[in-house]
């Protein structure tokens, strides 16, 4: 802000940096601590030494002695498919809602907004019974369908905000060139909406990657767990296997963090635009 | 075919100012006309409508129905191997609601859920506001601070919660070791009802601040700088500029993020479920974790009771959203 430039006293400057450093330490430290602990032998996990006999043993233990990679694979499959489907479905819907006026549009928009309010508590029991009847408990497909219900309403809402920001003239020029509406959407608009797609993809991915309640309820048996369920097996009420647990945490956080870095610039624009432009 | 639909949607995709679709009239051929005009739009939204209808609409209806029955693990229909056992639960009307609402447990949980939501949302919003205002200035290292401050957002929630459980551990957690080093006796972070409440709120605030901060930062950057310059010319100090320019300028962003984060926090399952399991005892149990516990943790699983709690949670949220919307309307917000 230009009005502030050059006017800050040294004392204010110190205060500013001190506050931000304090906040940054609080933000970063828990994550950093987990990373450092994962590199220590398990028996030192609970010591306060930052470095002690740095080793990859915890990671080795994860690979050799636990089903970590099975869980990782389950989560990757579920999150990947959820992301693909979620992005595609919500992009077409967002486009239709942004560009066409059609009967049923307003109720649809309201439904998308209201479903964000639904607590999983009301859906989880019927969904559990439904999945049970369809034989989809313990199946990735069951969770993918469930996660789509969480991700799609919000994503469609965000995508509408992004499409609203793309001038209608582009659609018109596409039609002049003889493209049909879907062709316009696919060839012209979608490439322009890349930031929106990135946000939608990230949101769908993180929803599926980090979901706890449905996966705890729907998936049982060591080989069917997702990461959220698998990690719980390391820490029970009374015992905690902190060494491997921290190593697993690091491996789980990395893909999400990488994805996040790509999407974060556009993330909030999408989230708040979607919700305010109703 | 292509030409035809191209033209019809060209009209539809225009401004639509003529109120297409509002005309009422049941002349024959109207449906066909509507179809030929709107089929593209309808096809494009069909997947979402189907997904929402089947996977949200149906379970919602069924959940409401279950809340009117006495369904539990023993009497729902199920298939074990080749044997199919028919459901034997029956319709009991509003009995479940009467039971739940007469049970002091519901009011206790509701009260704590409200306290939890208000504390979390207020703290995240205030911290987010302060940090965003700091980051909105120009100074060296701003990008680095920003990266560090949004880090908690990049880590999946359940991983962070376990990290905190690790730090909070009574005997071996880092926090207590540090306190011990400072000569302060260990704090039972997760083992004492009051401390556990404090701890779950602290973790949720830690998780929520980055989103608030970045959202408010976006809002701050959309306030024109000229406003501040003009105010400064008029002799307004930093505090006055904050109160008369920044706060009003942030209104639409803040009303959105407060609504979103209230709903998210109210339904925040993983933090409490993974950090304390609702304990010690049931002191940190919020409404959604209670509903989950009834259906999936306790035995026999009480499906009807859980569904009843679910419907009540939804009702509370709907009332909140309506009141919130009305209060925004009074202030002249469009939402």
Q: Report how far apart, in Å, the C-alpha atoms of A213 and of each of A62, A128, A153, A168, B77 are.
A: 24, 11, 19, 41, 23
Distance from CA of A176 to the nearest CA of B (A): 9
pLDDT of residue A278: 38
Q: Does the distance separating the beta carbons of B152 and A24 come in below 8 Å?
A: no
- Give me the sign of the Cα torsion angle A143, B88, B100, A114: positive
pLDDT of residue B4: 38
pLDDT of residue B333: 52
User: Scanning the structure block, which residue is given the tokens 């479940």?
Assistant: B96
The rounded mean pLDDT for chain A is 82
pLDDT of residue B117: 94
Query: Could you give the CA distance from residue A239 to residue A245 in angstroms, rounded to a whole number?
Result: 12
Task: List alpha helices for chain A, DSSP H.
Answer: 10-38, 57-65, 68-99, 105-115, 120-134, 140-164, 168-176, 181-183, 190-192, 194-210, 213-218, 227-234, 242-276
Q: Which has the closest alpha carbon to A202: B322, B153, B193?
A: B153
pLDDT of residue B83: 64
pLDDT band at A79 (very low <50, low <70, confident <90, very high): very high
Q: Does the distance separating the beta carbons of B52 and A111 come in below 8 Å?
A: yes
All residue ranges of chain B with pLDDT < 70 are 1-28, 77-86, 331-335
pLDDT of residue A23: 92
Residue A276 confidence (pLDDT) above 60: no
Rg (Cα) of chain A, in Å, rounded?
23
Higher pLDDT, B9 or A230: A230
Q: Does the distance separating the beta carbons of A118 and B156 come in below 8 Å?
A: no
Residue window 9-28, chain A: list those with CB within 8 Å of chain B: 13, 16-17, 19-20, 23-24, 26-28
Task: Supply the DSSP string of B139-183, one letter for each residue.
Answer: -TTHHHHHHHHHHHHHS-HHHHHHHHHHHH-TTT-HHHHHHHHTT
Distance from CA of A215 to the nearest CA of B (A): 11
Q: Does the distance separating the beta carbons of A126 and B6 come in below 8 Å?
A: no
ω into A276 cis (within 30 of 0): no
Query: Could you give the CA distance from residue B77 to residue B225 in angstroms, rounded to a whole number?
Result: 65
Query: Could you give the CA distance from residue B170 to residue B173 in angstroms, rounded to a whole number?
Result: 6
pLDDT of residue B129: 94
Q: Six-digit token pair at A270?
A: 């999408």
Q: Which has the closest alpha carbon to B284: B160, B194, B214, B176?
A: B194
Residue A58 confidence (pLDDT) above 70: yes
Nearest CA in chain A to B161: A30
pLDDT band at A5 (very low <50, low <70, confident <90, very high): very low
pLDDT of residue A76: 92
- Residues on chain B touching A92 (C-beta within 8 angstroms): 44-45, 47-48
- Residues on chain A touching B317 (C-beta within 8 angstroms): 117, 119
Query: Could you give the CA distance from residue A264 to residue A255 in angstroms, rounded to a whole number?
Result: 14
Query: Could you give the CA distance from residue B34 to residue B12 in angstroms, rounded to a whole number?
Result: 11
Q: Does the distance separating the beta carbons of A48 and B335 come in below 8 Å?
A: no
- Under 8 Å between Cβ of B177 and B169: no
Q: Which helix (H) or strand (E) holds B101?
A: helix B95-102
Residue window 290-319, chain B: list those with CB within 8 Å of chain A: 291-292, 295-296, 303, 306-307, 309-311, 313-314, 317-318
Q: Which has the closest alpha carbon to A72: B8, B278, B159, B72?
A: B159
Q: Which residues contact A35 (CB under 8 A, 6 or more apart)?
A: A246, A250
**Could you read off the pLDDT of B42-59 as tens digits, one per residue?**
888 888 888 788 878 888
| Residue from A50, A100, A104, A145 whose CB has the most chain B CBs within 10 Å, to mutate | A100
Angle at B156 between CA B153 and CA B159, to 5 degrees: 120
**Could you read off the pLDDT of B236-247 as tens digits, one per residue?**
888 888 888 888
**Cα dihedral: B101, B105, B108, B112 (round 10):** -110
- A233 interface with B at CB cutoff 8 Å: no
CB atoms within 10 A of CB A89: 25
Return the half-sphere exposure (C-beta side, CA atoms, 13 A cut-off) of residue A12: 10
Burial class for A49, CB neighbours closer than 10 Å (0-12, 13-18, 19+) = exposed
Angle at A171 between CA A165 and CA A174, to 5 degrees: 145
Average pLDDT rounded to a whole number, residues A200-229: 86
CB atoms within 10 A of CB A187: 12
Query: Could you give the CA distance from residue B324 to residue B118 in angstroms, rounded to a whole number?
Result: 14
pLDDT of residue B78: 63
Task: List alpha helices for B169-302, DSSP H.
Answer: 174-181, 193-221, 225-233, 238-241, 247-249, 251-266, 270-275, 287-292
pLDDT of residue B202: 93
- Residues on chain A touching B241 (C-beta within 8 angstroms): 3
- B259 interface with A at CB cutoff 8 Å: yes
**Could you read off the pLDDT of A138-193 as tens digits, one per residue?**
888 888 988 888 888 888 888 888 888 888 888 888 888 888 888 888 888 888 88
The rounded mean pLDDT for chain B is 80
């Amino acid at each position: 802000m230009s009005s502030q430039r050059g006017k800050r006293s040294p004392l204010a400057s110190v205060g500013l940096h001190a506050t931000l450093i304090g906040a940054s330490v609080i933000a970063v430290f828990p994550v950093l601590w987990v990373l450092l602990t994962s590199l220590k032998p398990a028996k030192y996990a609970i010591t306060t030494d930052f470095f002690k006999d740095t080793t990859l043993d915890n990671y080795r233990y994860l690979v050799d002695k636990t089903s970590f990679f099975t869980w990782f694979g389950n989560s990757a499959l579920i999150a990947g498919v959820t992301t693909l489907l979620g992005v595609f479905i919500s992009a077409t819907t967002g486009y239709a809602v942004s560009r066409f006026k059609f009967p049923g549009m307003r109720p649809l928009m309201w439904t998308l907004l209201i479903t964000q309010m639904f607590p999983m508590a009301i859906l989880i029991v019927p969904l559990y019974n439904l999945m049970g009847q369809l034989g989809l408990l313990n199946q990735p497909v069951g969770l993918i369908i469930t996660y789509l219900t969480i991700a799609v309403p919000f994503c469609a809402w965000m995508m509408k905000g992004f499409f609203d920001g793309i001038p209608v003239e582009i659609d018109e020029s596409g039609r002049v060139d003889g493209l049909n509406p879907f062709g316009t959407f696919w060839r012209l608009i979608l490439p322009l909406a890349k930031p929106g797609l990135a946000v939608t993809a990230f949101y769908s991915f993180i929803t599926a990657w980090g979901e706890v309640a449905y996966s705890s309820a729907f998936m049982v048996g060591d080989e069917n767990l997702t990461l959220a369920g698998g990690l719980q097996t390391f820490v029970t009420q009374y015992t905690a296997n902190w060494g491997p647990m921290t190593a697993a945490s690091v491996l789980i956080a990395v893909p999400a963090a990488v994805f996040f870095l790509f999407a974060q610039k556009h993330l909030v624009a999408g989230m708040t635009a979607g919700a305010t432009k109703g | 075919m292509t030409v035809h639909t191209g033209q019809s949607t060209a009209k539809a995709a225009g401004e639509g100012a003529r109120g297409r679709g509002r005309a009422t009239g049941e002349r024959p051929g109207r449906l066909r006309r509507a179809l030929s005009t709107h089929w593209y739009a309808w096809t494009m939204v069909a997947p979402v409508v189907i997904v929402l209808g089947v996977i949200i609409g149906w379970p919602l209806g069924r959940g409401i129905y279950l809340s009117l029955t006495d369904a539990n693990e023993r009497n729902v229909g199920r298939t074990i191997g080749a044997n199919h056992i028919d459901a034997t639960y029956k319709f009991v009307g509003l009995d479940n609601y009467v039971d739940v609402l007469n049970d002091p447990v519901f009011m206790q949980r509701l009260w704590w859920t409200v306290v939890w939501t208000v504390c979390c949302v207020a703290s995240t919003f205030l911290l987010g506001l302060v940090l965003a205002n700091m980051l909105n200035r120009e100074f060296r290292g701003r990008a680095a601070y920003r990266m560090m401050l949004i880090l908690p957002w990049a880590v999946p929630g359940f991983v962070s919660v376990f990290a905190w459980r690790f730090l909070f551990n009574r005997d071996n957690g880092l926090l207590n070791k540090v306190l011990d080093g400072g000569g302060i006796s260990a704090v039972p972070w997760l083992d004492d009802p009051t401390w556990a409440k404090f701890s779950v709120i602290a973790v949720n605030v830690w998780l929520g601040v980055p989103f608030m901060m970045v959202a408010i930062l976006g809002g701050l950057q959309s306030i024109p700088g000229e406003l501040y310059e003009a105010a400064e010319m008029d002799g307004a100090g930093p505090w006055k500029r904050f109160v008369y320019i920044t706060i009003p300028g942030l209104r639409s962003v803040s009303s959105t993020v407060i609504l979103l984060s209230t709903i998210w926090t109210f339904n925040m399952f993983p933090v409490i479920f993974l950090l304390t399991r609702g304990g010690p005892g049931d002191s940190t149990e919020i409404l959604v974790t209670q509903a989950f516990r009834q259906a999936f943790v306790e035995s026999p699983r009480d499906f009807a009771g859980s569904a009843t709690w679910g419907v009540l949670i939804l009702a509370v949220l709907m009332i909140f959203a309506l009141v919130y919307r009305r209060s925004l309307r009074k202030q002249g917000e469009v939402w």
